[in-house]
Amino acid sequence: MSDASSPVPFHSATEEAPVARWLLIGLAFAGLSILVFAPLIAVFVEALADGVAASLKSLASPDAGHAIRLTLTIAAISVPLNAVFGIAAAWFITKFDFRGKAFLITLIDLPFSVSPVVAGLCIVLMFGANSLVGGWLVGHGYPIVFAMPGIILATMFVTFPFVARELIPVMIEQGRAEEEAALTLGASGWRTFWTVTLPNIRWALLYGVLLCNARAMGEFGAVSVVSGKIRGHTATMPTTIEMLYQEYLSVAAFSVAAVLALLALLTLLLKTALEIRHADQLAATHRH
Amino acid sequence: MHIEIDEISKQFGTTAALNPVSLSIPSGALVALLGPSGSGKTTLLRILGGLEFPTSGRVRFDGQDATGLTVQERRAGFVFQSYALFRHMTVFDNIAYGLNARPRASRPTKAEIVRRVTKLLELIQLPDIGPRYPSQLSGGQRQRVALARALAIEPRMLLLDEPFGALDAKVRKELRQGLRDIHDTTGLTTVFVTHDQEEAMQLADLVVVMSMGRIEQIGKPQDIQARPATPFVREFIAA
């Protein structure tokens, strides 16, 4: 018999029994290990299969170096542009009421549903040397396809939704009241944007930009169609990896792949570091 | 400031939020716009503040046409229903926002801004909360900070949208007196929106009862209670 003072184990209604809890956690870990960690480790193991020196030597080749520089340049141009377009689109959609809003939202999502290869082909059709616009541009010395502008266009098309998709729900949830308050206090629209709107969305924006960046650096399908994969000229990191792999240069292929993976990990690390550093502000913006 | 609303109407698409309404608010009055949701009272308040523009009709401040004035030019201290405090700023920065937003030529010095914010914090009887964030305040404190922020711009009028809506009964009674006191010290023409007839009757000098985008009755609280003009008013104030 237990009396009233004996300890009773308390747990909340949403808490599962220990068995179920460990089973779920284990399942999540197993899934992550098989799908994420193992392939990531395999990339690094393959890259270092012939030792660090061989791996570094393959990275030091002019083509690999050019591919890395090109990919970073593409990301450096397309990500800020997409951030600006994404903010503009999200602002427009959430702060104003107008006809065709649903259509615009669908349009923003289009790059997610269209295969990147198809997107690349569209750009070739629009701006290729045989098209009206492309022919004129090539004639004036500004080729789009098989050149940097085409790669940027393709990358921007594929990564367009990331920023806007990240911002729209946050901006809908926050409503317009704070902006209206700023206006009644005498702030201009521009000042309201910089002092109220932007600080409120900065975490969502950062997250969107990081996702956009990761995808921009990793984009393969659309870029491989429009770039023509000319070594040392229009071959980006992902297309270079594929070409090297097709040529059975597995150490070289996996070395570039490892660099690409490291860049992605760096992005994640940056995000986590920022989150830890600004944890108090993050909490303040969310709990209100 | 004397506010005159002359045949103001507002259409949202095909629905009429306000049928032409006219109302004269004497300078320094404390006025309640009373009505159920959908009666058009908030729309009317937002038109006064310049957040919404009327489909037809004019607004006059002290006899001057103000219909086309932008929200910034109106200089109306606006307190929003959920207060709309800037969540990423401290209470101090919230209150100082309107002063910092002024063009350089008319912006007070840093020291002057500190002095004014401190004074406002004393006015709302929360002198020590300057460094806190809105999320660290109670509902009643947030409401008072919103009031201080609106007063900081030296407004020509005070407009409040359901200022006590989100508070529990006890705090509500305290803050009612607080608003009355602030109104009496500043002498600002004050308009507040409420759906609570008891609140309107206790607090306001003049009550405007609204329903379905129309004004049903305008009068002193005791007159409305003694002689309701329409069946709607009789029913609404009895509830």
Mean pLDDT, range B166-176, rounded to an integer: 84
Q: What pLDDT digit, counting tens, does each position of A29-70 carry?
A: 999 999 989 999 999 998 998 888 988 988 888 889 999 999
Strands B64-65 and B206-211: unpaired
Name the least confident of A62-76, A92-106, A143-157, A269-283: A269-283
Question: What residues in A contact B50, CB-CB < 8 Å?
Answer: 184
Tokens 């975490």, located at residue: A203
Q: What pLDDT digit, counting tens, does each position of A18-27 carry?
A: 888 899 999 9
The confidence score (pLDDT) of residue B47 equals: 94
The confidence score (pLDDT) of residue A277 equals: 78
**Cα Rg of chain B (Å, integer):** 18
Please give the residue that has the higher pLDDT: either A8 or B92.
B92
Other CB atoms closer than 10 Å to residue A276's CB: what's the count? 9
**Cα Rg of chain A (Å, integer):** 24
The confidence score (pLDDT) of residue A140 equals: 85
Question: What residues in A contact B72, CB-CB < 8 Å?
Answer: 183-184, 186-188
Instruction: Please report the DSSP string for A206-259 in residue order.
Output: HHHHHHHHHHHHH--HHHHHHHTT-TTTT--HHHHHHHHHHTT-HHHHHHHHHH
Mean pLDDT, range A151-161, rounded to an integer: 93
Tokens 């037809």, located at residue: B56
The confidence score (pLDDT) of residue A184 equals: 95
Output DSSP code: residue B102: S
**Residue A161 predicted with pLDDT over 80:** yes
Nearest to A196 among B81, B86, B136 (CB): B86
Alpha carbons within 13 angstroms on the beta-carbon side of residue B143 total 20
Give A137's pLDDT tier (boundaries 50, 70, 90): confident
CA distances from B176 to A72, B49, B162 (A): 60, 22, 12
**Residue A149 predicted with pLDDT over 80:** yes
Please give the residue that has the higher pLDDT: either A18 or B56.
B56
Report CB contact under 8 Å: B72, A187. Answer: yes
CA–CA separation, B233 vs B109, rounded Å?
Answer: 51
The confidence score (pLDDT) of residue A2 equals: 46
- Token pair for A187: 């702030």
CA–CA separation, B16 vs A208, rounded Å?
Answer: 40
Question: What residues in A contact B77, CB-CB < 8 Å?
Answer: 184
Order of strands across the sheet that contains B56-61: B15-25, B3-12, B56-61, B64-65
**Residue A284 predicted with pLDDT over 70:** no
CATH of domain A52-281: 1.10.3720.10
Nearest to B84 among A180, A188, A191 (CB): A180
The confidence score (pLDDT) of residue B237 equals: 85
The confidence score (pLDDT) of residue A17 equals: 80
CA-based nearest distance A205→chain B, Å: 15
Report CB contact under 8 Å: A185, B97. Answer: yes
Tell me which residues of chain A have a C-beta less than 8 Å from any C-beta of chain B.
177-178, 180-188, 191, 195-196, 199-200, 281, 283-285, 287-288
At residue B133, what is the residue type? Y
Question: What residues in B contact A189, CB-CB < 8 Å?
Answer: none
> Secondary structure of B136-164 in the HEC alphabet?
HCCHHHHHHHHHHHHHHCCCCEEEEECCC
CA–CA separation, B142 vs B104, rounded Å?
Answer: 29
Give A1's pLDDT tier (boundaries 50, 70, 90): very low
CA–CA separation, B173 vs B164, rounded Å?
Answer: 9
CA–CA separation, B94 vs B147, rounded Å?
Answer: 11
Question: What residues in B contact A178, CB-CB < 8 Å?
Answer: 84-87
Nearest to A185 among B51, B88, B101 (CB): B101
Question: What residues in A contact B102, CB-CB < 8 Å?
Answer: 186
Nearest to B82 among A177, A283, A287 (CB): A177
Mean of all residue pLDDT scores within chain A: 87
Alpha carbons within 13 angstroms on the beta-carbon side of residue A52 total 0
**Phi-psi map region of B57: left, alpha, beta (phi>0 left; psi -120 to 50 alpha):** left
Helix (H) or strand (E) holding A32: helix A18-32
Tokens 């259509």, located at residue: A103
Among B70, B88, B102, B106, the residue to mutate for chain A (most A Cβ within 10 A): B88
Q: Which residue of B has its CA nearest to A287?
A: B135
Report CB contact under 8 Å: B71, A200. Answer: no
CA-based nearest distance A284→chain B, Å: 6
Q: Give which of A232, A219, A229, A218 is closest to A265, Cα–Cα.
A: A218
Instruction: Please report the DSSP string for A131-143 in residue order.
Output: SHHHHHHHHTT--
**Residue A287 predicted with pLDDT over 50:** no
The confidence score (pLDDT) of residue A283 equals: 63
Report CB contact under 8 Å: B51, A191. Answer: no
Q: Give which of B46, B70, B64, B27 is closest to B157, Cα–Cα.
A: B27
CA-based nearest distance A197→chain B, Å: 10
Measure the CA angle with vertex A280, ends A276 and A281; round to 5°.
100
Q: Which residue of A has its CA nearest to B82?
A: A177
At residue A52, what is the residue type? V
Mean of all residue pLDDT scores within chain B: 92
Helix (H) or strand (E) holding B208: strand B206-211
**Residue A280 predicted with pLDDT over 80:** no
Instruction: Please report the DSSP string for B30-89 in residue order.
Output: EEEEE--TTSSHHHHHHHHHTSS--SEEEEEETTEE-TT--HHHH-EEEE-TT----TTS
Output DSSP code: residue B207: E
Residue pair B212/B9 in contact (Cβ under 8 Å)? The answer is: no
Report CB contact under 8 Å: B97, A187. Answer: yes
Q: Give which of A117, A58, A67 is closest to A217, Cα–Cα.
A: A67
The full set of domain ranges for chain A reads 1-47, 52-281
Mean pLDDT, range B29-47, rounded to an integer: 93
Evaluate if pTM is beyond 0.90. no
Measure the CA angle with vertex A139, ends A134 and A145; round to 5°.
35
- As a whole number of angstroms, the longest Cα–Cα distance in chain A is 95
Mean pLDDT, range A204-226, rounded to an integer: 90
Report CB contact under 8 Å: A181, B87. Answer: no
The confidence score (pLDDT) of residue B167 equals: 83
- Token pair for A215: 């995808």
**Residue A6 predicted with pLDDT over 60:** no
The confidence score (pLDDT) of residue A11 equals: 66
Report CB contact under 8 Å: A180, B75. Answer: no
Please give the residue that has the higher pLDDT: either A99 or B159.
B159
Report CB contact under 8 Å: A281, B71. Answer: no
- Token pair for A107: 């349009």
Question: What residues in B contact A184, CB-CB < 8 Å?
Answer: 49-51, 71-72, 74, 76-78, 150
CA-based nearest distance B227→chain A, Å: 37
The confidence score (pLDDT) of residue A282 equals: 62
- Token pair for A128: 């290729």
- Token pair for A151: 């790669």
